[in-house]
Amino acid sequence: MGRGRLRVLLGAAPGVGKTYAMLEEGRRLQAEGKDVVVAVVETHDRAATAAMLEGLEVVPRRAVSHRGVELDDMDLPAVLARHPEIALVDELAHTNAPGLEHEKRWQDVQELLDAGTTVFTTVNIQHIESLNDVALQITGIVQRETIPDAVLRAADQIEVVDLAPQALRDRLSEGLVYPAARIDAALSNYFRLGNLTALRELALLWLADEVDSSLQAYRAEHGIDSKWEARERVVVALTGGPEGETLIRRGARIAARGAGGELIAAHVTGQEGLREAHPGALAAQRALVEKLGGSFHQVVGDDVPAALVDFARASNATQLVIGVSRRGRLLALLTGQGVGQTVIRESGDIDVHIVTHQAAGTHQLVLPRARGALSTRRLVLGFVFALLAGPLLTLFLWSFRSADALTAEVLAFQLIVVVAALIGSIWPAVFAAVLSGLTLDYVFVEPYYTITIARPLHLAALLLYVVIAVLVSFLVDQAARRTRAARRSAAESEVLATVAGSVIRGDDAVEALVVRAREAFGLDVARLVAPDGEVLFEVSAVTPTPREQVGRGTAASYREPIGDRAVLELYGAELESSDRRILAAIVSQLDAALEHRDLADTAEQLAPLAETDRVRTALLAALGHDLRRPLAAATAAVTSLRSPQLKLSQGDRDELLETAQTGLENLNTLVTNLLDVSRVQAGVLAVNLADVDVDDVLPSALEELGIAPGDVVLDLREPVPPVRADPVLLQRVLVNLLANALRFSAAPPLLGVSTFDDRVQLRVVDTGPGVPDDRKDAIFQPFQREGDTDNSTGIGLGLALSRGFVEGMGGTLDAEDTPGGGLTMVVELPCVTAAHEESA
């Protein structure tokens, strides 16, 4: 049997006709032969609604008495027993009468659905949990009955029963919604025209959002990526430049032209991350988007146009707004078509708006800086190559000099220019270009051995050399910058990953961070210093000399406060500005690690106090209850015996004396146990060790328990050597363990004795409920009864005392699971020979 389907009729306000529509649909389905019953319907004394019930089977309501008031509500068991095909359940957000199966009616509906019944139900928009505060602002009335959004969104079908606000007010005025006595108040308050209009819009927008979510799920399920123009979705492409605000406002105006339009801003992060965007400008533009009711998205992709178009398609966008390129004409001519042209070509059926702005065309082509992104070493190598390659190539080509070979000679010298650009970037390339042009004119162009630029073509060739050098150098410089940025990012990521890995592997977080900071920047010494000057942690290079010489009266290369807890001192080379960014991340982690260490130290210091407080609280509880009970019994018995007004028979007097004696004996036992546990915790328990035969202790323990021979099964078949123990304490241990086993075991417990290596084990085995593994240590804590609520059985000191006694005798007491169920207490004591050998 499958789960039933849920169909919800959603209304903006009471009286729009939800219940009437539900009953009308029920009557139609019944006429088609469906099994339909009315589980519960609230007619609110509306004649038209009551008339719709005629001919429908109605499940009688269940009467509930609450505080002297008779209430009636839906009889869920009766509906489940009837098991109809379709059940009509009115007012989904209704709160049930106290004492019913569920607190809310929507929970009843969930049970009906699980039983395979299809449910038709009704709810008003103000009862939806996420819209409750909005409805309060509109109407000023608190709605205490709400339904979780997830319940409503899980419905198989949601329909809005719509009625124009003025039509609803007319119905109210005619007495079709409320009785005459309530009409004026309703029209003046909840049913004001503005309230009804706002609630109606709220209901329609909520349903539109639900339909949109369903549409997105359907498109994803069926792999549909083409545009469906259900409503306008405007995607604005942001670069982080100054034109962003203009584009956002233009996109917002386009989205506002249609009802329900949506504004979406997207920034594509390319292969250089956020280096091309100003983070502050992006943050301001994001705030503006959210202020205008839109959403901001960060998209990662090396191909910016493709990533932007893919995002727009995934968002089912209808409009795409981009800005005019900020590149100048020369740069656009040299680098080809820009993002805008590519987006237009790839956008397909998405309309693209290219918006002009003040920053258009302001990005001009500029030469790289002389220092560029290459090292000085590569710059020098570029000049050396140009100086050596030119003369060598000239000597080689001079022997083949002819008018026909001029083209090959020009290309050969052009190759030198390109190689010089690849090695040393712009300045070696320009130097090689000028030198090549002059050499060609001097050696290979007639008249030979003269520098004469008589033809414009020769000047154009020289300028072409320079242009080629500049362009190739520009590309080399950009590639070098990106390579250096990638290596820098990889190094930073590796440092942070190493730090995180050190902490995850269990290393001390503070020490790991200081060690990695020194290693990452190649420093001589890294030191963490407290505010009072105390060195908390210090790490130096492998060579011990820097640690001996650096930092003792030497100024630190870098000092960074770690909050108010410490100062990080770094000794060695000065840090570059790019290094300080990752150092700031390490400092932030250090601050958190030091705070965590301080909190851990504080918690460790408070742990004994907390334990003492817990024991003190339990002790007070024991004194207030467990000790008072036997004391009260003895006091009452003695008081009755001394009372002259009571005429007691000899039997009554004997019974009272026995009660007093038992109470005083129990009181003595409790006080003894309390004193013993305090001695155990203080480590001053008096233990008188002697050579003890276990067989001699067992009878005394059984006699103290006062049990019959068959109440405990003894397994003494294996002879065991004497143990080194205190006979009195050992007897008390056995009495406590056997008493617990008798209390919890369904069958007689087993007491077995065996030898294991040089130890003697006493096992008390019961077949009771046992103890979970995570609670086995807790049962040995004082004042633990492990779920035992019978206060007559003690105050939870037995096992704590038993373990303390056994450990005081040099043994152990542990709990194990009994095979087949139950708990086994294992007492392990040293044999006499082993104990003597250890003492010797």
The 3-state DSSP class for residue 297 equals: strand
For all residues of the chain together, what is the average pLDDT?
75
**Could you report the per-residue pLDDT of 558-615, keeping only the tens digit for each?**
777 887 788 888 887 776 655 666 677 777 777 877 888 888 888 777 766 665 565 5
CB atoms within 10 A of CB 345: 12
Q: Which amino acid is at 587?
A: V
Q: Which of the pair, 775 or 840, is modelled with greater confidence? A: 775
Q: Which of the residue ranges 24-33, 411-420, 628-637 has the most confident prediction, judged by mean pLDDT?
A: 24-33
Provide mean pLDDT across the span 688-701: 83
Q: How many percent of the chain have pLDDT more than 70?
A: 72
In the numeric block, which tokens belong to residue 729? 């304490």
**Could you report the per-residue pLDDT of 159-193, keeping only the tens digit for each?**
888 888 888 888 888 888 877 656 766 777 778 88
Which of 463-472, 598-607, 714-723 shows the lowest mean pLDDT across its residues? 463-472
Q: pLDDT-derived band of residue 795, with 50, 70 and 90 as boundaries?
A: very low
Provide mean pLDDT across the span 211-223: 57
Q: Which of the pair, 499 or 732, is modelled with greater confidence? A: 732
Q: pLDDT-derived band of residue 546, with 50, 70 and 90 as boundaries?
A: very low
**DSSP character at residue 161:** E
What pLDDT is stored for residue 22 in this prediction?
Answer: 92
Provide mean pLDDT across the span 9-20: 89
Q: Which of the pair, 705 or 535, is modelled with greater confidence? A: 535
Q: pLDDT-derived band of residue 100, with 50, 70 and 90 as boundaries?
A: confident
What pLDDT is stored for residue 28 in this prediction?
Answer: 92
What pLDDT is stored for residue 498 in this prediction?
Answer: 56
Tally helices (H) and strands (E) across the chain. 27, 24
Provide mean pLDDT across the span 775-781: 75
CB-based burial of residue 159 (10 Å sphere; 0-12 exposed, 13-18 middle, 19+ buried)?
Answer: middle
Q: Which of the pair, 337 or 587, is modelled with greater confidence? A: 587
Domains and CATH numbers, the chain: 6-210 (3.40.50.300), 233-355 (3.40.50.620), 376-482 (no CATH), 503-589 (3.30.450.40), 628-679 (no CATH), 685-839 (3.30.565.10)
Which of 220-234, 288-302, 502-516, 663-677 shows the lowest mean pLDDT across its residues? 220-234
Query: Which of 83, 88, 77 has its CA nearest to residue 55?
Result: 88
pLDDT at 787 > cutoff 50 = no
What pLDDT is stored for residue 520 in this prediction?
Answer: 67
Beta carbons of 234 and 264 less than 8 angstroms apart: yes
Separation between Cα atoms, residue 248 and residue 252, nearest integer Å: 6
Which of 50-64, 444-458, 558-572 shows the lowest mean pLDDT across its residues? 444-458
What pLDDT is stored for residue 776 in this prediction?
Answer: 76
What pLDDT is stored for residue 379 in this prediction?
Answer: 80
Separation between Cα atoms, residue 135 and residue 144, nearest integer Å: 12
**Could you report the per-residue pLDDT of 614-639, keeping only the tens digit for each?**
555 555 555 554 566 677 777 777 78
Separation between Cα atoms, residue 68 and residue 621, nearest integer Å: 40
Q: pLDDT-derived band of residue 716, with 50, 70 and 90 as boundaries?
A: confident
